[in-house]
Structure 1
Amino acid sequence: MGQMRLDTDPIVQVDRKPKCCFFFFSPKIQANRIVRAQLWVHLRPTEEATTVFLQISRLTPVTDGGRHIRIRSLKIDVNAGATSWQSIDVKQVLAVWLRQPETNWGIEINAFDAKGNDLAVTSVEAGEDGLLPFMEVKISEGPKRIRRDSGLDCDENSSESRCCRYPLTVDFEDFGWDWIIAPKRYKANYCSGECDFMHLQKYPHTHLVNKANPRGTAGPCCTPTKMSPINMLYFNGKEQIIYGKIPSMVVDRCGCS
């Protein structure tokens, strides 16, 4: 799975006034490969517990009257004095925008409480850096070309004793790491197995050191020979969203070294 964050450009003209929010999309994203699309909105605190209605409206060109067409709404109960991030499914509207880019004139985001106050952070005020709305999009990856030196892949039912890559899913929620927004879980994989004499021929230095060192060495080990990063969204200590690429998080290939 691939995952990406799409930030907003808050300058969208509707009735000659700037409105939030507009999202830019890479032409590489294909509508039929969208797995999930979530719009994340930060809500300002209220003085008392209340019900908030989060509303997402699609905007139309000024030449078309600058209409607001509501596409999604969500009812949320919030506690007094609490800020929060809320998400709403926008997969369908994203699919339309990708198939018909000319219809993407942005969306208006509102979160009205019982008194009619809009709690949605759609423009930055003092102390609100990093709190603008963003869209989390997960897309399926295309089939990867298999290389001859891709190494062995096994599962828990395999009888293979040689060095092999095994599947392993890491679930951050099991660790209690609720500060990670996405991914909640990912396929990390791991290496395990024996490295026999045939592998030593590929790494003669390791073999010679093992024989010559009177103390002995561990010999060749089954270890990752290729790793790849993952993209991650998480909160920092100020409840701001951080987006980064964390290196060496997925084992792609195992070998003896």
Structure 2
Amino acid sequence: MTTAQQQPVLPRQEPARAPAEAVPEAVRDEGGRAGPEARSRAELVGEAVHAHVAPLCRGYQDDEAAAVAALARIRRGAGKPAGSLPDLWGLLGLERLDTTGWGEADVVRAEEAVHLAVTLWALHQQSHPETAMHVPGGPDVGGAVRRLMKPDEIDEPVRKRFVRAGSAPSIEALGPRLRELVLLFRRDGIALDYAKLARQLYRWQGSGGRAEIHRAWGRGFHQYRPPAPPGAPATGTDTGDTPPTDADAVAATATADISASPTDKDSRS
């Protein structure tokens, strides 16, 4: 009896996958991933920052020794790369962010965003024991920068610092430049939404993220309007026909350098 000839074992065929381009851009997030679960990662980063900062802020305002000591240590990391100070391990709230299943690049982006947002907040909160410098729904960087200026004027040194932040070529370069702005915000008591900042910093590091955040900061800068004096009549509030002011004219130049920054040009080439 002859031995039956064995059939060759063929390699397992994986199902064909559609190329990345087959997924419409409308359902992609800033990192090029598809689906709502991918887009929510920036939200998770922002939620982790808020959940960590809010109780620390309350403790600082209540003069709790542990919170005061924690802020003193955390703010030393402002403007420095994530992970560069081992003394900050366990103080930044990263344990609140579950990155199970995330790729290494996304985890690094999240770590950088949380580190930068929390350390900048701790620097910002210093010397403000009665006022929270993290305000959910508060301004972003662009809106806060505009609040540093008089309504109908552009402060050129401040504008240049804003443009420098917008032109940062890397997250490592962005940190120190944001630190310069935060010191000005602290001086004038201008709060930020640090959860929003964390979300923006996460997106900033993704594909196309810089252009997206530049637009957001520029929009925040241009759309800010100082509160009307008490008793002043509202003009154009209901009809949307508010006449342009001198502030509208001068603000148009404040973010032009960001929109056409060398960083954006380089990233497109």
Q: TM-score, normalised by structure 2?
A: 0.21
Q: Larger strand proportion, structure 1 or 2?
A: 1
- The higher radius of gyration belongs to 1
Higher relative contact order (CA 8 A, sep 6+): 2
